[in-house]
Amino acid sequence: MQVLVFDLKAPLAHFRRPDTTATHVTYPFITRTALRGLIGSILGMDEFHGEAWTGVQLCSPVRTVSQELSLLGKKFLGGSGDTFNRPTAIELVVKPHYRIYYAGEHMSALSERIKNRRSHYHTYLGSAFALTVPEYVGLKNVEPLPLSDELGELRAITVVPAHIIEQLGVVAGVQYGRAGGIHYEHLGNRRFRGGMHFIYEVSGQAIHFTPKASPVQPPVQLARLDNDEVVCLW
């Protein structure tokens, strides 16, 4: 099995939590739907379609800052005009660096475009003010790891879907965080289906965990790199 590896970096990122309105709180890393949107932008798709398995590695510590911005809003109750500018508190991820692992039917086209720094549409990390240019890392061979009782404890360098974890390993100097309620699938017209929760290490260190022995939903694939590290694809 082969995966495409590329990096996403930017001074800022913002992946808004859907349950925040008056303030815009961010997820700590790029979400499943945002990542598929970015891949679709590179390939020239108005809506991403096709098989895709992706994993996200945090290559820099998660740091956020809150800032008040003047954002464009819509008027629902009277007044002149349909829109207005309003001060809004927004949480931003500072200097994010994500390493993305991709496997899917668009491998060849996506690899060629990223390698040549070409994209059909603009690519950004969650918001239009967070522009990024994907950086090609390479193609890597990985060993698929079917779920079983024999796997034991693994060392994952990517964020890990919480529902695949049977037991989380406690390691000195490692600080785990949880990102919950991330949309699983975009149906179009701002409609979504399903959700996932993730465990991540706030400084980008590996996550030690024992996976469940049987298949889970939503599906997750585990794959081992040649240095014995594991990536989670979802």
pLDDT tens, 175-193?
999 999 999 988 777 778 8
Question: Residue 118, Cβ neighbours under 10 Å: how many?
Answer: 11
Three-state secondary structure call for residue 184: strand
**pLDDT grade for 37, boundaries at 50, 70 and 90:** very high
Q: How far apart are CA 46 and CA 62, in angstroms?
A: 30
Residue 158 has pLDDT above 90, yes or no: yes
Question: Residue 74, Cβ neighbours under 10 Å: how many?
Answer: 8
For residue 164, the 8-state DSSP code is G
Most confident of 14-28, 91-105, 176-190: 91-105
Which whole number is the average pLDDT over 27-32? 97
Q: How far apart are CA 135 and CA 179, in angstroms?
A: 25
C-beta separation of 151 from 221 below 8 A: no
Alpha-carbon 215 to chain mean position: 22
Q: Which two tokens stand for residue 232?
A: 């989670």
Sort strands 23-24 and 83-94 into parallel, antiparallel or unpaired: parallel
Alpha-carbon 127 to chain mean position: 14
In the prediction, which pLDDT does 72 show? 66
Comparing 217 with 190, the larger pLDDT belongs to 217
Residue 98 has pLDDT above 60, yes or no: yes
C-beta separation of 15 from 129 below 8 A: no
In the prediction, which pLDDT does 218 show? 94
Fold of 2-75+84-233: Alpha-Beta Plaits (3.30.70)
